[in-house]
Amino acid sequence: MTEIASDSFAPGDEAHSTPLAYLLQAHSVATYDYLEFRCVVEGEAARLAAERADEADRAMLTRRFDAIEAMHAKDDPTEEADADAEFHLGVYEAAHNLVLLHIMRGFSSMLRNDVFYSRNRLYSRKGVRDLLLQQHRAIYEAILARDPAAAADAATAHMRFTRDTLADISAADERAEASRRRVARSSLVELD
């Protein structure tokens, strides 16, 4: 592993992600492909962070996890989702893999702009915010405990939960839309 300063790329450097954003927006299955990718990457990033995080990284992760807890207490899903994204970027930073960090910064920017899915809808679903907080705590504590296996397991479980919850939300939306269309058609038939 070559040590290069992780700040050699600006956090907003997303030039490499623009064509990818268009591709992902054009295909509805892209959300699940993205989440499948994150299931793979998150576990490895958390494992590396548990192995490689130095004291500065651990302090940064503590600040970012504390921010998640503070936003959770404020009951503001938007700010909590932003703190969530910052925490995940912190895990990538603590992994000390420049390529991983650069790629995931681009994805983070797209995620913040709801390219993949509406983070607010995820955070607004009843009970999800509490579960996500618990999952983030498990990732954070495993990294600070320097337990690579637990960190990887917690991060992978978190992404699987996110994927499954979003699939449930999407299915519920599709059912609601089908009901709206059915009611609209019956209303038109009744008018005839």
| Six token digits for residue 73 | 């207490």
User: Hey, how many other C-beta atoms are within 10 angstroms of the C-beta on 167?
Assistant: 13
Mean pLDDT (the chain, rounded): 83
* Residue 27 pLDDT exceeds 60: yes
pTM: 0.81
Residue closest to 62 by CA, chosen among 86, 96, 33: 86
Q: What is the pLDDT of residues 114-170, one digit of tens each?
A: 555 667 778 778 889 899 999 999 999 999 999 999 999 999 999 999 889 888 888
- Which residues, at least 6 apart from 145, have a Cβ–Cβ distance to it below 8 Å? 50
What pLDDT is stored for residue 182 in this prediction?
Answer: 81
CA–CA distance, 58 with 49 (Å, rounded to integer): 9
